[in-house]
Amino acid sequence: MMNYKKAGHFSEDEQKYYLWYRNAKDGILLPISRFLAARHVTPNTLSYMGLLMMPFFVYCFAYNPWIAFFFLIINLLFDALDGSVARVMKKESAKGEFTDKAVDYASFAVVYFTFLYFGLFSPFWAAVLLLNYAIMQSLIIFGQMMEVKLFPILRPKMIIYLFFLVWLISGQNLFDPLLVVLSVYLLVSNYFLIAKIRCSL
């Protein structure tokens, strides 16, 4: 029987790592989070402010990618703060978590397709990675609904952002080899996810 309440973007083991990361991040950002909470800046406001950085990212990328990278860092800062402020204000909710995830995915999509538009990505491997990522997320959500214990899987977002910084510093476009490696990794992970789910049914 499916348990829809358990459906999410992370497996059970990934949740443990995520909680460790979240607690560490909250500790670092606590002074800023308290400052914003005291001034009644809501978590959703921070989420949307982060999303508002993305048009500037796209515009600046064509003229000065370093400035675009600055707006990306600001986006990530807002993304880190919204959850921390929600916990300080005791305003955590399913709706707020949905908004946070939606903004996070939308921001990453903007970066991904900006890189694709400006030729940093091979269209073929960009499509292969997206397909494998979509399958992975679907399998994780389905596995959780079926209460199957799944294994942690590396997410590509921060790795792609790191390679963006490498490109800025060195001028070397290593994105296509990265997309190939990530695509193969997700393909293999999806195979084992399917096998794990089938064995548990």
* Residue-level pLDDT at 144: 76
CA gyration radius, the chain: 18
* Residue-level pLDDT at 163: 97
* Residue-level pLDDT at 85: 92
In whole angstroms, give the CA distance from residue 45 to residue 50.
9
* Residue-level pLDDT at 147: 76
* Residue-level pLDDT at 15: 66
**Tokens matching residue 3:** 């348990």
* Residue-level pLDDT at 73: 97
* Residue-level pLDDT at 100: 87
Each residue's pLDDT, cut to its tens digit, for the chain (201 residues) gives 444 444 455 556 666 666 777 788 888 888 999 999 999 999 999 999 999 999 999 999 999 999 999 999 999 999 999 889 988 998 888 788 888 889 999 999 999 999 999 999 999 999 999 999 999 988 888 887 777 777 778 889 999 999 999 999 999 999 999 999 999 999 999 999 898 888 877
Note the pTM of the prediction, 2 decimals.
0.85
Burial track 115-127 (b if 16+ CB lie within 10 A, e otherwise): bbeeebbeeebbe
In whole angstroms, give the CA distance from residue 9 to residue 94.
13
Domains of the chain: 4-200 (1.20.120.1760)
* Residue-level pLDDT at 1: 45
